[in-house]
């Protein structure tokens, strides 16, 4: 019994000792986690931003051209009825999409009926004109006979009394004037008929052209690939990909693209605060979310001169295009990228985590050192995570990552450095 009690006591003592040692180690670990070491080495000043991949070159897949010079069709938004899945690899001539034909087919039906009506009207007009002109020509021939008859009467009356001769002369003159009137009337009627028929034919031609235009446009409502490639659908102004039910504007006809995957770009947006640091030719380190273990290199190829507002934001941003070096067949348009633009490289400098630097309003920047001092520092360039220290610290110094407890117990040192500010 006593032996058992002794063993129990010994086990309890060891357990207490182990617990004390564990707590001590944990405490040391926690204390070490509170500090950062001042490092010396090469330092990169960067501008970072997320973006997405797109092909540098691509072939557009377009809806049919509805509005164009010489085409008598009003512009209209057209709904997409069917699409192949994005990412489909197609050959030239393969099916891509179908547009909703309902509105255009209804209009084409109306135009065909109108065309048939105009053709009938033109035929009737020409027939009526032919009948009318035939009647007028018959009247002219009859009047010519009347003139001949009056001439004969006049000739036969030369031995008659003067009054009879005079009456024959008057009759001939009257018949001649009637003939001239009928000829002039006929000429006017012919000219009017030509104008009327020309007008009818002009409208007929216009309607025929409209029918042909609608038939031609409807042929393009089944969209096919103009070249081989992978189908990537366009985004609208709100950044939403085109899908079934989306509408196509007649002035923005691109439905999708066939990108050249051998040359890729990463498009990012940089804030107006940082855009002055970015310029073409700068090196870029690129990560792609889909391949976290891969790192790509690139170079800034263009920087927008004019800023823009992205949806749901008030701040201005500038578009920056980055060209990836080499090619990787695994990369696809619209993949999300992380981009680190190398603005400047500094050799052999001191740097610390940026959150370790403190500064109150109207005061100089300082850090809390492990030796219980508040060390004034002269900061230099910085990046997203770290900042260069030009004066005030040495390599290997230990500094607090966050403000320690009882910060007022820390003595200020290095105030003589404040002249640099």
Task: Give the pLDDT confidence of 85-120 residue by residue, as tens digits.
Answer: 998 989 999 999 999 988 888 888 998 998 898 888
Q: Are strands 264-271 and 39-55 parallel, antiparallel or unpaired?
A: antiparallel
Co-location of 166 and 229 in the same domain: no
Cα dihedral 363, 367, 368, 370 sign:
negative
Q: Which residues contact 165 (CB under 8 A, 6 or more apart)?
A: 154, 157, 158
CA distance 418 to 421: 6
Dihedral pair phi/psi, residue 100, rounded to 5°: -70, 120
Residue 295 counted as domain residue: yes
**Helix, strand and coil percent figures for the chain, each rounded to 5:** 40, 35, 30
For residue 309, give its domain range: 47-55+259-345
Residues 354 and 382 sit within 8 Å (Cβ to Cβ): yes
CA distance 251 to 230: 24
% pLDDT > 70, the chain: 88
Work out how many domains the chain is built from and give that number: 3
pLDDT value of residue 225: 93
pLDDT band at 121 (very low <50, low <70, confident <90, very high): confident
Which run of H or E residues covers position 35? strand 35-37
User: How many alpha carbons lie under 13 Å from residue 115 in its C-beta half-sphere?
Assistant: 15
Using alpha carbons, select from 183, 188, 185 the residue that is nearest to residue 141.
183
Which run of H or E residues covers position 255? strand 254-259
**Domain final residue, candidates 208, 229, 248:** 248
pLDDT value of residue 75: 59
Residue 303 counted as domain residue: yes
Which run of H or E residues covers position 105? helix 102-156
Residue 96 counted as domain residue: yes
**Domain final residue, candidates 202, 219, 236:** 219
Task: Residue 162: give its domain's CATH number.
Answer: 1.10.287
Residue whose structure tokens are 């990412």: 87
Q: Which tokens go with 274?
A: 């940082």
Residue 310 is classified by DSSP as P
The stretch 3-22 carries a mean pLDDT of 38
Q: Which residues contact 318 (CB under 8 A, 6 or more apart)?
A: 269, 270, 271, 272, 275, 278, 303, 304, 306, 307, 308
Kindly tell me if the per-residue pLDDT of 223 is higher than 90.
yes
């Amino acid at each position: 019994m006593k032996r058992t009690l002794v063993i129990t006591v010994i086990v309890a003592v060891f357990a207490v000792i182990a617990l004390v040692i564990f707590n001590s180690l944990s405490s040391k670990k926690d204390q070490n986690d509170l500090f950062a070491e001042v490092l010396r080495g090469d330092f990169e000043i960067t501008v970072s931003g997320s973006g997405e991949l797109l092909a540098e070159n691509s072939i557009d897949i377009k809806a049919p051209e509805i509005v164009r010079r010489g085409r008598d069709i009003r512009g209209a938004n057209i709904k997409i009825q069917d699409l192949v899945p994005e990412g489909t690899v197609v050959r030239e001539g393969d099916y891509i999409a179908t547009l909703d034909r309902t509105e255009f087919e209804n209009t084409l039906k109306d135009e065909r009926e109108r065309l048939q009506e105009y053709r009938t009207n033109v035929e009737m007009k020409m027939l009526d004109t032919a009948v009318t002109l035939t009647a007028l020509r018959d009247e002219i021939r009859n009047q010519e006979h009347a003139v001949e008859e009056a001439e004969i009467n006049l000739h036969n009356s030369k031995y008659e009394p003067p009054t009879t001769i005079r009456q024959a002369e008057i009759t001939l003159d009257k018949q001649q004037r009637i003939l001239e009137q009928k000829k002039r009337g006929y000429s006017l009627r012919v000219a009017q008929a030509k104008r009327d028929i020309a007008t009818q034919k002009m409208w007929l031609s216009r309607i025929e052209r409209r029918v042909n235009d609608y038939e031609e446009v409807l042929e393009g409502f089944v969209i096919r690939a103009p070249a081989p490639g992978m189908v990537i659908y366009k985004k609208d102004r709100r950044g939403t990909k085109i899908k079934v039910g989306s509408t196509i504007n007649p002035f923005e006809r691109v439905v999708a693209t066939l990108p050249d995957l051998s040359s890729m770009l990463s498009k990012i947006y940089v804030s107006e605060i940082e855009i002055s640091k970015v310029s073409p030719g700068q090196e870029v380190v690129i990560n792609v979310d889909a391949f976290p273990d891969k790192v790509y290199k690139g170079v800034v190829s263009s920087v927008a001169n004019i800023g823009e507002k992205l949806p749901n934001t008030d701040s201005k941003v500038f578009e920056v295009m980055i060209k990836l070096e080499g090619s990787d067949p695994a990369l696809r348009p619209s993949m999300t990228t992380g981009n680190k633009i190398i603005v400047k490289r500094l050799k052999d400098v001191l740097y610390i985590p940026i959150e370790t630097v403190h500064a109150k309003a109207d005061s100089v920047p300082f850090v809390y050192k492990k030796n219980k001092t508040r060390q004034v520092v002269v900061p230099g360039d910085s990046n997203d995570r770290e900042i260069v220290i030009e004066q005030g610290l040495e390599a290997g110094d230990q500094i607090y990552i966050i403000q320690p407890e009882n910060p007022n117990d820390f003595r200020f040192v290095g105030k003589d450095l404040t002249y640099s500010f």
